[in-house]
Structure 1
Amino acid sequence: MKAEIFAPGIVTTEHMEFFGSFTPDLKEFYFKRNGGKYKKSTLVVIRYKNNRWVESVVSPAEASVGEPSISPDGNTIYLDSRYIKRTNSGWSAVKSLGAPFKDIPIMRLTASVNGTYVFDEREEIGTIRYSRLIDGKREAPKAFGKEINTGKWIAHPFIAPDESYLIWDCEREGGYGDSDLYISFRQEDGSWGPTINMGKDINTEREDIYGSVTPDGKYLFFHTYLEKGKANIYWVDAQVIENLRNQ
């Protein structure tokens, strides 16, 4: 119930590891690493094969540009306003999401089971927006209300697969330091509830960002910047979300 470093020596090392997430079968963990043999930020994956975890670089190399998030079905990795698709031989070439997304300076985009996109912008204040898939057509992006878009450095949204909650990070009055992780729950009438800081067992005086929940709903992942050139990936029991929902 208190966040711990994830997979020390395998995923988390003395270098910078960030943007971590599992595929639905929990046999592939994707993240970025910068340091050691990786002289720049590189998208890597550890796969569970023959009773051990094996690390490799994700191809094509262009996939290392952008902040990766995995679709609920595990067949797409979104990379800002671009994406790659799973193929029989690996991953496809990097493709554009097209208009209007290609013209928005997106950092992170996540998707729900229903195909709703939720994404941020690379700006100081930041605005989190959503775009639903209605009758097979993509609607124009709309901004969330002030429940979500209040504070500074509003970024890195994660929409629950069933759209029942939204996690993101930002700086707000009353936080624990730099960016904290926050959550809002979808109400019965479809509106979004008040913003809730995810608490001292997750947030620190440092920059705690990029929350996501494993496909089985059991764990919350995020990463914390410790110092220049170093970040660690953490995980915590997702029961913390249910505890906040019941407040």
Structure 2
Amino acid sequence: MKCSQAFLLVGLIYSQLCHSVQTKLEGPYLGQKPPSLIPQAFAPGIVSTKGWEYGGVFTPDMKEFYFLRESKADKKQEFVVFQFKNNNWHESIVSPRRGQPFISPDGKIMHLGKRFKHRTATGWSDIKSLGPEFDELPIMRLTSSINGTYVFDDADREGNGILRYSRLVKGQREAPKPLSKEINTGTWNAHPFIAADESFIMWDGVREGGYGNSDIYISFKQSDGSWGAAINLGENVNTAQWEAAAGITPDGKYLFFSRNTGSEKHPNIDIFWVDAKVIENLRLKL
């Protein structure tokens, strides 16, 4: 081997080793620096890239992060997980897309729209149906509270969808009902999130007075059990582009959502996060 070739080989190995060190993921939240009250793309170049990434959620122990993305190989949507093992985060592909993931507050159920999986001793069960009351509904996202209340979308492709809920009453699942007009106003209402303690609901939709495309809204539960007026999360979270699929991390510290950082013709959907104080700041203004 010539000297120049040897130096080239050593340089390539050194470059690869440096790259490995730079991309090593250690610590909470995939090793990312937490954001302030200004949203930041989550894990740039790792989760949020020049592509389509959507709907990120952590498990309650904060050791698994699930999201959807478009495969660079065939442009099909795939279900991805980062798992914290041996003090490092490891990426793997779970399957092709099977609905939008949400983990129940107790960590025992992975909701996937109208379907779900149970947590087992070895991982997750096969996909199961929620039952006939839900099978015919075009559910994109379903979230649940500690008490087992479901909140989910029932949307068509013309923007006429509404948000519904279903409670557990004496151990029995009640038939889905529409949420109040405070929430079901405007168009494209979808991708709801109910707080674990049922103190608020977030969703995205298009309303008068919004910032352009789909914005994220919140409604706080009132002392009489009703839902308060919809509040736009404001110009730091919402833009003239599309924001959707908001949710709070299980530790209550951060708000995650998806945003189109491209254009309508050439979208680039990324996952963003921001300090959850943005919600408490809105509550304090009421």
In the alignment, what sits opposite 1:171?
206
- 1:230, distance to aligned residue in structure 2 (A): 2.2
Give the secondary-structure state (helix, strand or coil) at the position aligned to 1:154: strand
Q: Does 1:78 align with 2:111?
A: yes
In the alignment, what sits opposite 1:5?
41
Q: Does 1:40 align with 2:76?
A: yes
Q: Residue 190 of structure 2 aligns to which amino acid in structure 1?
A: A
Q: Does 1:196 align with 2:234?
A: no
Q: Residue 70 of structure 2 aligns to which amino acid in structure 1?
A: N
| Cα deviation code 1:44-75 (max 9, x no counterpart) | 100112222110112xx36x221111111122
Give the secondary-structure state (helix, strand or coil) at the position aligned to 1:232: strand
Q: Does 1:29 align with 2:56?
A: no
| Cα deviation code 1:101-143 (max 9, x no counterpart) | 1111111100000000001012121110100001000111111
The structure number with the bigger radius of gyration is 2
Q: Residue 204 of structure 1 aligns to which amino acid in structure 2?
A: T
Q: 1-side partners of 2:165 and 2:155: how far apart?
A: 15
In the alignment, what sits opposite 1:231?
269
Aligned-residue sequence identity (percent) comes to: 56
Bigger drift between 31-40 and 159-168 goes to: 31-40
Q: 1-side partners of 2:117 and 2:238: how far apart?
A: 32
In the alignment, what sits opposite 1:128?
163
In the alignment, what sits opposite 1:67?
100
> Relative to total residues, which structure has the larger helix share, 1 or 2?
2
Q: 1-side partners of 2:90 and 2:46: how far apart?
A: 9
Give the secondary-structure state (helix, strand or coil) at the position aligned to 2:117: strand
In the alignment, what sits opposite 2:15?
none
Q: 2-side partners of 1:77 and 1:38: how far apart?
A: 26
Q: 1-side partners of 2:71 and 2:51: how far apart?
A: 5
> Relative to total residues, which structure has the larger strand share, 1 or 2?
1
In the alignment, what sits opposite 1:244?
282
Give the secondary-structure state (helix, strand or coil) at the position aligned to 1:120: strand
Q: Which runs of 5+ in 2 are unaligned?
A: 1-36
Q: Does 1:18 align with 2:54?
A: yes
Select the structure with the greater relative contact order (CA < 8 A; seq sep ≥ 6).
1
TM-score normalized by the length of structure 1: 0.95
Q: 2-side partners of 1:205 and 1:138: how far apart?
A: 39
TM-score normalized by the length of structure 2: 0.83
- 1:229, distance to aligned residue in structure 2 (A): 5.1
Q: Residue 75 of structure 2 aligns to which amino acid in structure 1?
A: K
